[in-house]
């Protein structure tokens, strides 16, 4: 791998545009002709006219310098394996979800999970992500793999008390093992402690009961109490499917969001993965109208991941409405490809489509969700912004890339047109992990080849795991017939 470290101060001189943080206005601003200097992993200067020393100087002509993106919800070790399979399928009798019938049949081995993680982490970095929340089932070597990527990673080992399955494609059942869930929580907390002590200094932890419908009330409460005691963020999948909504109302007589509120686990350090099916959603219209206000009043963050739902014809209703109600929103890349810039584009377009107006949200709103709002959900104010004293997590965008031009407004060109094609360099803690659009820390081609082989092994075993013993070509037929 190429050398990615630089001793002393690095100066990006006279950048065409710097997306700087205006502390007084508490917002990002465009700064033309700015200098950005950093050393020892910390931003020393963001502004014009830097006059200090610099051991490395980068000519900022034709470049935009922006803060690294913060991804608060992703599944790197599992989702890349589904490419070419779950792009356009869903169980028709389970409201088009893939969770209950398809994913239990798509189980990759540990070697494949590691290859998937490397592919996803590379995709994230290449799309400008510098911080990622990794919601995975723990595997050997997880922490070292994350550290080797160079990304700032939040380890979120998912734990649960039950597994879900369907025998017939229209009824979801749960197999419960409460003791296993409690033991898994203890193990996950130990892993989180190891992450926080990792010598890379870039790893931290999050407590993550997997899904509201697969966790006992005790596991949900206990995990939240541990997160609070340790000063960690806490995340759970909730209000993510119609099946789950009906299951929780059947069990408890209240919506998923109201059940979390009754358990007293909604707070400014809580993240709800997806949060789509509230009591006022047209697909699940409940007799109350409280969920949106509960999310806002408690300061809970919704991790919005539009792409995975867009494929199923499902949408949050809508980003702008949540925001105007006072709900905090961050962004994630729940599915493949792990491309944060495409996720930002989809967030904007889906919201406008659902709201039937282009004014329900702005590009600035989406950029805020992908930077400072995501950082706030993690309890941090030193990432997701470019200001002296913050971590040197930043992205250099090539404004002269054809897909960026004409560059009337660089963030609009980046989000709606160029995406990762214009990402030139990415720095995390001042160390360069992407250079000239190439990942320096991960051999992406090798990881992709390993993942492809692992996917083939997984697909060969699909009939053993599928409820009806169907081969993969029956579950997910090819786009075109093979002649």
Q: Which domains does the chain have, with CATH numbers?
A: 10-67+387-439 (2.30.40.10), 69-377 (3.20.20.140)
Side-chain half-sphere of 80: how many Cα atoms within 13 Å? 28
* Mean predicted confidence (pLDDT) in 38-43: 98
Non-local (6+) Cβ contacts of 462 within 8 A are: 105, 106, 470, 471, 472, 475
The 3-state secondary structure of 437-449 reads CEECCCCHHHHHH
Other CB atoms within 10 A of residue 357 CB: 12
- Average pLDDT score over residue span 391-398: 98
Max CA separation in the chain (angstroms) = 70
336: nearest Cα among 97, 119, 114? 119
**Quick check: 282 pLDDT over 80?**
yes
Q: Could you give the CA distance from residue 274 to residue 309 in angstroms, rounded to a whole number?
A: 9
Share of the chain above pLDDT 90, in %: 98
Give the pLDDT confidence score for residue 7 in this predicted structure: 72
Return the structure tokens found at 380: 């941090």
Pick from 393, 388, 448: nearest CA to 425: 393
pLDDT score at 2 = 57
pLDDT in tens, 319-375: 999 999 999 999 999 999 999 999 999 999 999 999 999 999 999 999 999 999 999
Candidates 173, 155, 255; CA nearest to 212 is: 255
The whole-number pLDDT of residue 6 equals: 64
Q: Is the dihedral of CA 344, 350, 351, 353 positive or negative?
A: positive
Q: What is the pLDDT of residues 110-136, one digit of tens each?
A: 999 999 999 999 999 999 999 999 999
The whole-number average pLDDT for the span 461-465 is: 97
Q: Quick check: 1 pLDDT over 70?
A: no
378: phi then psi, degrees, rounded to nearest 5: -90, 5
pLDDT confidence of residue 140 = 95
Nearest to 69, CA basis, from 115, 24, 123, 117 = 123
């Amino acid at each position: 791998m190429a050398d990615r470290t630089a001793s002393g101060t690095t100066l990006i001189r006279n950048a065409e545009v710097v997306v700087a943080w205006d502390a007084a206005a508490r917002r990002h601003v465009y700064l033309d002709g700015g200098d950005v200097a950093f050393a020892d992993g910390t931003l020393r200067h963001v502004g014009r006219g830097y006059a200090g020393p610099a051991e490395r100087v980068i000519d900022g002509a034709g470049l935009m310098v922006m803060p690294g993106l913060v991804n608060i919800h992703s599944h790197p070790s599992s989702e890349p394996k589904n490419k070419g399979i779950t792009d356009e399928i869903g169980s028709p009798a389970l409201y088009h979800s893939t969770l209950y019938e398809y994913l239990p049949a798509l189980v990759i081995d540990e070697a494949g999970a590691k290859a998937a993680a490397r592919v996803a982490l590379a995709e994230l970095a290449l799309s400008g992500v510098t911080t990622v929340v990794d919601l995975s089932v723990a595997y050997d070597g997880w922490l070292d793999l994350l550290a080797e990527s160079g990304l700032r990673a939040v380890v979120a080992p998912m734990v649960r008390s039950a597994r879900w399955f369907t025998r017939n494609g229209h009824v979801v059942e749960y197999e419960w093992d409460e003791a296993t869930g409690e033991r898994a929580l203890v193990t996950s907390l130990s892993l989180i402690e190891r992450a926080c002590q990792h010598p890379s200094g870039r790893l931290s932890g999050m407590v993550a009961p997997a899904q509201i419908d697969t966790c006992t009330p005790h596991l949900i409460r206990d995990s939240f109490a541990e997160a609070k005691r340790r000063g960690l963020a806490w995340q759970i999948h909730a209000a993510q499917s119609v099946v789950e909504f009906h299951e929780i109302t059947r069990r408890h007589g209240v919506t998923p969001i109201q059940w979390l509120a009754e358990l007293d686990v909604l707070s400014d350090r809580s993240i709800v993965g997806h949060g789509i099916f509230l009591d006022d959603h047209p697909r699940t219209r409940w007799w109350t109208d409280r969920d949106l206000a509960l999310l806002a009043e408690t300061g809970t963050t919704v991790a919005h991941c539009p792409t995975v739902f867009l494929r199923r014809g499902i949408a949050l209703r809508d980003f702008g409405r949540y925001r105007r109600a006072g709900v905090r929103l961050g962004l994630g890349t729940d599915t493949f490809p792990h491309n944060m810039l495409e996720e930002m584009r989809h967030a904007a377009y889906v919201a406008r489509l659902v709201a039937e107006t282009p004014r329900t949200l702005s590009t600035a709103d989406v950029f805020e969700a992908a930077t400072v709002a995501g950082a706030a959900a993690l309890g941090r104010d030193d990432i997701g912004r470019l200001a002296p004293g913050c971590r040197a997590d930043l992205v250099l965008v090539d404004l002269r890339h054809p897909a960026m031009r004409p560059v009337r407004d660089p963030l609009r060109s980046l989000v709606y047109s160029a995406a990762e094609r214009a990402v030139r360099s990415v720095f995390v803690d001042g160390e360069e992990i992407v250079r000239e659009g190439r990942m320096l820390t991960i051999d992406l081609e090798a990881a992709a080849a390993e993942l492809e082989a692992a996917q083939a092994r997984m697909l060969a075993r699909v009939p053993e795991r599928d409820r009806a013993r169907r081969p993969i070509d029956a579950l997910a037929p090819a786009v075109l017939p093979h002649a």
